[in-house]
Structure 1
Amino acid sequence: MSIAVRSTNRPHLARQVRLEWDPVREQHVLLAPEGVLVLNQTGAIILGLCDGERTVDGIVEELGRRYDRVVGDEVRDFLSRLAAKRWVELGGE
């Protein structure tokens, strides 16, 4: 299932989901009642920017300031997959 992510959405973690550092794995993880998702560095940075205040476009812009090449469609696809699992809520437009 695919969820449409708009540039004006203001994504944030769902209420029951937490982004944490796992010292055993030495990686960020997304913890939810349904399980654990081990994140790569990029995924953790994206989710760290999902504060419910920034828009998707704002997140892409911030990533563009930090890194040479950022593909907005890849960020939207990542958020779409997590929204489909109900780990991320997209927020109002």
Structure 2
Amino acid sequence: MTWRPALHRAAVLRHDPVRDTDLLLVPERVVVLRGSAGAVLRLCDGDRDVDEIVAALGARFPGAPVDSEVPRFLSALRKEGWLL
């Protein structure tokens, strides 16, 4: 089965206009997202699989190593329990 990542129902993605950065709000914790992490998580809607997310980011950020970094990033968030 192909994994279609989605934020856990207890996790909320927000943009902090004061810091001009994205935040992931999880129970009793705020995770400050750096770089394009927010852009990656916005694509985790439960409809796109990992390959589709990588393709979308590859088109948006040509030359970036999304093929290797994005799946690792998503797996790490899944281990934390923030992605389903």
**After TM superposition, what 4+ stretches of structure 1 lie above 6 angstroms from structure 2?**
none
Residue 41 in 1 paired to residue 44 in 2? no
Across the two proteins, how many residue pairs are aligned to each other? 83
The residue that corresponds to 1:76 in the other structure is: 71
Q: Shift of the alpha carbon at 1:24?
A: 2.7
Of the candidates 56, 64, 78, which is equivalent to residue 62 of structure 1? Answer: 56
Instruction: Give 1:68 deviation, angstroms.
Output: 1.1
Deviation at 1:23, TM superposition (A): 2.3
CA offsets per residue over residues 19-73 of structure 1, 9 Å max, x none? 0011232210000003111112310000000000000000000011111123322
Between the aligned residues of both structures, percent identity stands at: 46
Q: Is the 8 A contact 1:17 1:32 kept in 2?
A: yes
Structure with the larger RCO, 1 or 2 (CA within 8 Å, 6+ apart): 1
